[in-house]
Every structure is written in structure tokens, then in C-alpha cells.
Amino acid sequence: MSAGKLKTHAAEDVEPGDAVRPGHPVEVSRYTVGARINHWITALSLILLALSGLALFTPSLFFLTGLFGGGQWTRAIHPWIGVVLFFSFAGLFLRFWRANLPAREDGTWLARISDVLRGREERLPEIGKYNAGQKFVFWGMSALIVILIASGVVMWDQYFYPYTSIEQKRVAILVHSIAAVAIICVWIIHVYAAIWVKGTIGAMTRGKVTGGWAWRHHRKWLRELVGTRPGKRPPTPAE
């Protein structure tokens, strides 16, 4: 099915590779294999950065340097993982930014955040590929990663020591630590949401979710996908 090619006229939150396949249950392709590899490289980098960064952030977690081969290795490797994360996330950004642009229903979704937290989806508007919470995670990560790489370069003494003053490095290190705390909190929200909303993790492992999941959480997106399918019926009957 070359559904991807037909998306040009579709709503901007349908991304290349998104497709719906009727069956029992309906299968919905949410992430291409490229997007998933891209995501997991970013995820692994972020986790390694959090562990190595926390090790240098507070003495009570210094023991985490043991995971990286000691303090010297931790100090040397942390910025390089940061570079990997920056470029890897840049890939994710290019893939996902369009679908994360604000939509009219985001305001309603946010206004009914207590229904969101209670899992009362029926009281929420129909949502595109991403809800306002996911968009918050996306833009939060984007902004914080830019802040972290910029402040990180300033404090990367091995290569960039002569280019900034000590006072600028002090500002950078404070900004870096605050941004790191913030991004870890955003990451906790991201991971928790994936665990809480059952059926989500498959989107990033196998690339697929069930039709029910899409119906329940991203109905607008599902309708758009169904609407862009070439035929009303699949070429072969399901099962």
C-alpha cells in the first residue's frame, strides 16, 4: 500500500508511513522503522546522559561513574553522548515537528486536564496524532536539548576552554544543571505516560498500535488515516 504518497493533501498530523490496516483488531502503523531506530538511539543517549550527568551533579550519585569506567571516562564520554543525542534528536525533530504544531483542540484538552488524568477520554475532544501533553514533551525536549548542547559546549573544557570566560562557564554550568533537571522531569512524564496508557509502547517497538488505541486516544488522526486510504475495503478480506 503506497498510502504514504497520498498524504500530501491530508492533514498535517498524518506522517509518512502512517497507515491503517483493517482486521480484527485493526492495526495502525504509527512509526516507521527509521523513526523507531532514531527514537531508540535518542532514548539510549538520553538515559546514558542522565546517568553520567547525575553522577557529576551530586556526590551521592558519583558511584554511577562506575557504569562508564570511572570518573575520568564519565567526564570524557558525557559530552560526546550529548553530541550523539543532539544529532539524533534533530532527526526526530525533522520527522515530528509538523505533527506537533498547535491545534485548536489542544486548548480544550489542556482545559480538561483533570479528565485526562482520570482517563475519561470520552470527555475530551478528538485528537490528532499527538495530544497537547505529547506536544509539550516534544517542544520541551526540543528547547531543553538546544539549551543543554549550547551550555554544554561552553563547559566542554577539553576543546572549548579558551573561547569563554570563567564567569560565562559558571552561568553555563548552572543553566546546564537546571535544564538537565527539567529534561529528566520531562522524560519521566514521557515514560510514565507510555506506561500508563496501555498499548502505547508497541508504537515504538513494533511500530504499530491497535485501532482501538487510535480510536480512543487519537481519533482525529485515525479518521484522517481512514479517509486517506485508497479503497474503502482492503484488497484481501481481513482474516
The footprint of another protein (CB under 8 A) covers 20-26, 55-59, 62, 65, 70-72, 74-76, 117-126, 155, 157-158, 161, 166-167, 169-171, 173-174, 177-178, 180-181, 184-185, 188-189, 192, 195-199, 210-216, 219, 222-223, 226, 232-233
Q: What is the DSSP letter of 210?
A: E
For another protein, the closer CB: 36 or 223: 223
Q: Which amino acid is at 173?
A: I
Radius of gyration of the CA atoms of the chain, in A: 21
* Distance in Å, CB of 11 to another protein, minimum: 16
Give the three-class secondary structure for 161: helix
Catalytic residue, chosen from 176, 190, 217, 218, is 190
Residue closer to another protein (CB basis): 33 or 58: 58
Taking the CA atoms of residue 82, residue 86, residue 88 and residue 91 in that order, the dihedral angle to the nearest 10 degrees is 180
DSSP notation for 4-39? GGGGGGS-TTPPTT-EEE-SSS-EEE-S-HHHHHHH
Find the shortest distance in angstroms from Cβ 199 to another protein: 5
Report phi then psi at 128, rounded to 5.
-75, -155
CB of 150 to another protein, least distance (A): 17
Q: Which residue has the cell 505533527?
A: 99
Q: Least distance in Å: CB of 140 to another protein?
A: 13
* Residue closer to another protein, measured from CB, 98 or 118: 118
Name the residue nearer to another protein (CB basis): 12 or 105: 105
78 is catalytic: no
Query: Residue 31 burial (CB < 10 Å; 0-12/13-18/19+)?
Result: buried
Contact predicate 23/32, CB 8 Å: no
Q: How far is the CB of 69 from another protein (least distance, A)?
A: 11
Helix (H) or strand (E) holding 152: helix 132-154
| Residue among 144 and 222 whose Cβ is closer to another protein | 222
Active site residues: 190
